[in-house]
A = this chain, B = another copy of it.
Amino acid sequence: MMANSLTVNAYDSHLQATGRPSPGITEPDLPPMTDRPTSDHINEIHHSGLKATAPRIKILRVFQESSQRHWSAEDVYRKLLEDHAEIGLATTYRVLLQFVQAGLLSRTYIEAGKAIFELNEGRHHDHLVCVRCGRVEEFCDPEIEARQQRVAEQFGFELKDHALSLYGVCSSPACRRGGR
């Protein structure tokens, strides 16, 4: 409950946060990619230099075999519970982090103080989230990306990464009407 820095440092989190950066493409279109054989999962994990254990395979499948793209650690853990995979929350966190470091997943902080994981398909994007229903859209605007680069240069910074989330009310009637 207090111990170290004084404003400075620990922004390091963001360095290892997102999987490999890559050039902007304008509209992700979410390919289904459902129910691939386990042997592929094993290879994917092996190629990351990790042992292909049951927890890792199951967690990878959660991402690849679901229409849901964005998962918090808790979400994943709960899905595993439902599926009767006997995997602890700590392991879930550990594996998610390893997958991020291996570039299989990417991690973002859409809402303050909670990490969201998604399959890293190589195309960088930012998020647009509905503050009423939580719906998340992905976008990548080359103009914004270019401008960020410019801003960094103006300040003499070598740009390494960025975090951008837009918050708004989506077009669903319920959200538009939206009390609260």
Residue positions of A touching B, CB distance < 8 A: 1-2, 5-15, 17, 68, 70-72, 74-75, 77-78, 89, 109-116, 128-131, 133-134, 137, 139, 141, 143-144, 147-148, 150-152, 154-171, 176
Counted per complex, copies of this chain come to 2
Secondary structure type dominating chain A contacts: mixed
Please determine whether B160 and A11 come into contact, CB atoms closer than 8 angstroms.
no
With A109-B109, A152-B166 given, name 12 new contacts (CB 8 A): A7-B68, A11-B167, A13-B112, A113-B113, A139-B155, A144-B144, A152-B168, A157-B170, A158-B169, A158-B176, A159-B168, A161-B166
CA distance A78 to B1 in the complex (A): 12
A171 touches B147 (CB 8 A): no
A166 interface neighbour in B17, B115, B148, B166, Cβ under 8 Å: B148
Residue in contact with A131 in the complex, picked from B11, B144, B171, CB distance below 8 Å: B11
Residues of B close to A161: CB separation below 8 A: 131, 166-168
**CA of A17 to CA of B111 in the docked complex: distance in angstroms?**
11
Contact A165 B162 (CB under 8 A): yes
Whether A151 touches B166, Cβ cut-off 8 Å, given contacts A7-B70, A68-B7, A113-B109, is: yes
A170: nearest chain-B partner, CB-CB? B157
CB neighbours (8 Å) of A116 from chain B are 7
* Least distance between A9 CB and chain B CB atoms (Å): 5
**Could you tell me if B157 and A171 are in contact, using CB atoms closer than 8 angstroms?**
yes
Q: Which residue of B lies closest to A142 (CB)?
A: B147
Q: Contact: B157 with A130, CB < 8 Å?
A: yes
Query: What's the minimum C-beta distance from A143 to chain B, rounded to whole angstroms?
Result: 5
